[in-house]
Amino acid sequence: QSALTQPPSASGSPGQSVTISCTGTSSDVGGHNYVSWYQQHPGKAPKLILYEVTKRPSGVPDRFSGSKSGYTASLSVSGLQTDDEADYYCYSNAGGNIWVFGGGTKLTVL
Amino acid sequence: QVQLVQSGSELRKPGASVKVSCKASGYTFNNYGMTWVRQAPGQGLEWIGWINTDSGSPTYAQGFTGRFIFSLDTSVSTAYLQVNNLQAEDTAIYYCAREPKLLDSWGQGTQVTVSS
C-alpha cells in the first residue's frame, strides 16, 4: 500500500496548460480505471474533480481532463486560472478493498 | 443535497481516546460506504480505510489497524471513527468521505490535537 508518486510541485502562468502525473504499479493505477483526482484549497476539504480516469463530475469545468498510460495517470489543466492554485491528489484502488492516495502536487499559478 | 457533517475539534492527552462522528444526509445512508482520511499538519492525504454501511464490515489500511476503529449508527445515519491510545503523531485533520471508489462528498474535517 505505498503512496502513488506525484511531483511535489507544478506551475504555470495564467492561460497556460499544466499536466500532473501520478505513477503507480500494476496493482493499482495500471490495473484498472478506478483513478480519481481531488483538488484541495488551503483550509478546505478536498473536492472531486475527475473519476474513472477521464470523467468529470457535474460542475467541474472541461479545462480539467484526465488520461492514463500504463502505470501513470495524468491530470491536465488548460487555460490556467488563479483559482486553480491548490494541492492536487490522485487516488486509486490498490487491489480488493484497499485504496491509496498520491503524495500530492502543489500547483502554483505564477 | 448530499451533506456530511462532522463533529467539532478535539484536544486529548497522549494515551487517551477520541471518537469523531460523521452525520450523513441527503441520500440513503446504507447505499454508500464511508471512507476515513487523515491529513497531518502540512502533509498529504492518507487513506485510513472504509466501512461498508450495509454490512458494517470495515477495511483498514496498513498502519491503521488496531488503534483505529470504525463504527456505525444507521438509525441516525452516522459513521464514527475512534482512535485509541492517541500519540502526538495522530494530530491531524480527519475527514469522512462518501464511498471508497470515488470520494464525491466530504465532511468539513475534524481537527484532533494530541498534546500533554
* B18-63 pLDDT per residue, tens: 999 999 999 999 999 999 999 999 999 999 999 999 999 999 999 9
Q: Which of A99, A105, A106 to mutate to test the interface with B (most CBs of B within 10 A)?
A: A99
Q: Which of B45, B64, B65, B96 to mutate to test the interface with A (most CBs of A within 10 A)?
A: B45
- Nine-digit cell string for B101: 471508489
Nearest-by-Cβ selection for A100 from B47, B59, B95: B47
Measured in angstroms, the CA of B105 and the nearest CA of chain A are apart by 8
pLDDT at B3 over 90: yes
pLDDT bracket for residue A2 (50, 70, 90): confident
CB contact under 8 A, B61 and A98: yes
Q: What is the mean pLDDT of residues A36-49?
A: 98
Q: What is the mean pLDDT of residues B91-108?
A: 96
CB contact under 8 A, B104 and A89: no
When computed from its CA atoms, the radius of gyration of chain A, rounded to whole angstroms, is: 13
pLDDT bracket for residue B116 (50, 70, 90): very high
HEC assignment per residue over B25-79: ECCCHHHCCEEEEEECCCCCEEEEEEECCCCCCEEECCCCCCCEEEEEEHHHCEE
**Interface membership of A87 toward B (CB under 8 Å):** yes
pLDDT bracket for residue A26 (50, 70, 90): confident
Contact A92, A72 (CB under 8 A): no
**Interface membership of A103 toward B (CB under 8 Å):** yes
pLDDT bracket for residue B105 (50, 70, 90): very high
